[in-house]
Structure 1
């Protein structure tokens, strides 16, 4: 399998080189040259696989022998051995037509663990096999940082620095990052919002000389190895429904709370691979650039809002470019021109014809704070199930956009204990898992910096 850049100036590299490159050296995002298509016969066979066996089969399609089978099998099994559920991502029926896919059974109680446990082990493997220096640089709106740190803390040959927006993540999210005392971990609390952190990351990675001299590696979803593990649970959820009596070949909707477009792009990728997905429901909060793009055909940041779903408080979605590449017919030159125009003008507008295609690919809804809390309360009262605020946005969007009689899976992206500030507002008391409760008694390790490339770069030079 070869990987190419959405902007056309990186081509023909293998999986491991794509992982190490992270952001394309031309500023684009890496995508597979061809998306493999899964036949109906293969889908039927895969239905009987465990989560780990299914992940192995999907990874093999993209890794294409670069990692020997036994080594890859060990990477997969080691990565998901840390999960509290033997199913890894169990499916829970909430009400007729609506199931919740629990993606929070990993070490940090967030869906990011599913990709980052694998990526952490993969980086460790690459460091050993290639004698490579791995200096990881990432930005987080809350969950990515903790998951990435957990994936590589204490591992020889790897250092990790995480940027997060000062005062704009939940307390538990902050504690999960900053109570880690391993010498290979640095947390930088950045003045600004997540978009500022993400901009710094992308600009530092775009400085190819600095990137190569500092051996920078990416853990954000700009890295193709973040997305591939996320495709697995779309297949797995579908197969669980099939075992429960879903008609063969029937379509299933997926409702995905998203800010950075990575999780729902993984669903788009699964659909292009042949999974019978009906509607891909894109759920945002008030930071609704993606919802406006789907419904109006205009991609333009609006006013930034702090919400009860802070991991979605994002205006510029780093994975949007990957979708734009496919929307524009895999025309890399056109993608490069559009992204350059976005950098200059701050907006991308598409024709009515392209907007119609977007609306065939996705439906979208923006869920405001009050609706988010009301959904948490209603589902808790009516069905005895507690949603976190991000998952609540997905459930609210599904209630609006899924048709009568349709089967919908809402992705539960985090455990509600990570966002107790919101849960308390509707007078619901919850018990914290002991792993989270223990965080409150630990000292924190972090450094506050201004939101500039220069300030972050100075800290990196000292740390690396």
Structure 2
């Protein structure tokens, strides 16, 4: 399998080179030259596989022989050994039409663990095999940072710096990052929002001299490994629900901010997973909902909500979808991205909008609706939603058709967002791993939203 850039200016790369590149050198995102096909017969064979074995089957379609099977198996074993359930991503049935895929059983209680624990092991493996220094640089709206740090903390040959928006993540999210006191970890709390942090990251990765000098590697979902690792749980959920001979299509409803998680579902569908609808759930930062409903992709005014991990206006992985939507034509992708840069928006034709709406449905939940659903589902089903999952439930209720089966993603444990849960007069017990965070000292540097200041901090950190 070879990988190319959505903008067409990067020679085809192998799997490991793609991992190390992260953001493509031409500013695009890396995608496989072709998407492997999974047949119904293959799905039938996969029905009895454990999560780890299914992971191996899917990744083997994408990595050729670059990682020996025994080595890959060990990476996967270590990646999921810290999860609190052997299913890794168990499925919880709420009623006849709704299932919740619980993605919060990893060490930091969020869906990012599923991909990032593996990425941490993979980076460590590559560093040792190639005897290369790896400096991971990423931005987070809350969960990515904690999961990435947990994945690589203390690992030899790796340093990690995470930028997060100052006082715009939940307290637990902040503590999960900033209570880590390892020499190979730097937390920068940026006086801005997530989009500001992400903009700096993209500019630094686009500076090829800086990227090469400091051995920068990406942990955000601009890295294709994140996308591929998340694809596994779409297949896993589907196979857990469909135990009979018939494999009907089902809906997936996904809380989404940076478009990475929902794009993983789009990739699974292109591979052959029988998906009925891919439903994008957003909060009041609803650029993705507006695009699906109107055909205009235009960042709006940033709003702080009860679901801060989705407080994003510029969705990085949108470019990957554009690539496939535009018939895998890198020239057209480049033209659209230039239009976005110059005019601040992308507008597609009414005819093209019909095509988009065949791929996705979308719904944006308000803050009020999010809180109401947390209370309603606790009362009706004795199931406590985190605010991001509540956005997903709102989208499920609005967009799923009668008689359809829907899997809604629970992207985080509610204890990570107790600020929102307490607004509904619900008192929840904290898992001991989260409770102890409040007793630990914090380690972070608060910086202005200033690229030059951030670069100075990075240079000092990487040279230590």
Same fold at TM > 0.5: yes
Matched with 1:130 is 130
Aligned pair partner of 1:267 in 244, 265, 268: 265
Structure 2: state its 5+ residue gaps.
none
The question of 1:182 aligning with 2:161 is answered no
Matched with 2:449 is 451
Matched with 1:363 is 361
1:249 Cα deviation from its structure 2 partner: 2.6
Provide Cα deviations, 1:24-80, integer angstroms capped at 9, x if missing partner. Answer: 000000000000010111110011110000000001111111100100111111101
TM-score by length of 1: 0.99
Matched with 1:150 is 150
For 2:196 and 2:211, locate their aligned partners in 1 and report how far apart those are by CA, in whole Å. 19
Provide Cα deviations, 1:266-321, integer angstroms capped at 9, x if missing partner. Answer: 00000000001111000000000000000000000111110000000000001000
Matched with 2:215 is 215
Matched with 1:101 is 101
1:353 Cα deviation from its structure 2 partner: 1.6
Matched with 1:316 is 314
* Aligned pairs (5 A) from 1:215-294: 215-243=215-243, 245=244, 248-294=246-292
Provide Cα deviations, 1:131-173, integer angstroms capped at 9, x if missing partner. Answer: 1110000000000000000000000000000000001000000
Provide Cα deviations, 1:196-220, integer angstroms capped at 9, x if missing partner. Answer: 0000000000001100111000000
Provide Cα deviations, 1:406-451, integer angstroms capped at 9, x if missing partner. Answer: 0000000000000000000010010000000000000000001111
Q: Answer whether contact 1:341 1:348 (CA < 8 A) is retained.
A: yes
SS of equivalent residue, structure 2 residue 242: helix
TM-score by length of 2: 0.99
The question of 1:15 aligning with 2:15 is answered yes
Matched with 1:112 is 112
Matched with 2:69 is 69
Matched with 2:139 is 139
Q: Answer whether contact 1:2 1:11 (CA < 8 A) is retained.
A: no
Matched with 1:404 is 402
Structure 1: state its 5+ residue gaps.
none
1:453 Cα deviation from its structure 2 partner: 1.5
1:96 Cα deviation from its structure 2 partner: 2.1
The question of 1:85 aligning with 2:74 is answered no
For 1:100 and 1:249, locate their aligned partners in 2 and report how far apart those are by CA, in whole Å. 19
Provide Cα deviations, 1:96-145, integer angstroms capped at 9, x if missing partner. Answer: 20000000000000000000000000000000001111000000000000
Matched pairs, number: 462
For 1:248 and 1:210, locate their aligned partners in 2 and report how far apart those are by CA, in whole Å. 53
Matched with 2:27 is 27
For 1:22 and 1:335, locate their aligned partners in 2 and report how far apart those are by CA, in whole Å. 18
1:242 Cα deviation from its structure 2 partner: 1.2
Q: Answer whether contact 1:143 1:311 (CA < 8 A) is retained.
A: yes
SS of equivalent residue, structure 2 residue 94: strand
Runs of 4+ with >4 A deviation: none
For 1:11 and 1:118, locate their aligned partners in 2 and report how far apart those are by CA, in whole Å. 26
For 2:297 and 2:451, locate their aligned partners in 1 and report how far apart those are by CA, in whole Å. 25
Provide Cα deviations, 1:326-370, integer angstroms capped at 9, x if missing partner. Answer: 111111011111111111111000111211111000000010000
For 1:37 and 1:455, locate their aligned partners in 2 and report how far apart those are by CA, in whole Å. 47
* Aligned pairs (5 A) from 1:375-394: 375-394=373-392
Q: Answer whether contact 1:250 1:276 (CA < 8 A) is retained.
A: yes
Moved more, 39-48 or 146-155: 39-48
SS of equivalent residue, structure 1 residue 265: helix
For 1:140 and 1:415, locate their aligned partners in 2 and report how far apart those are by CA, in whole Å. 17
SS of equivalent residue, structure 1 residue 95: coil
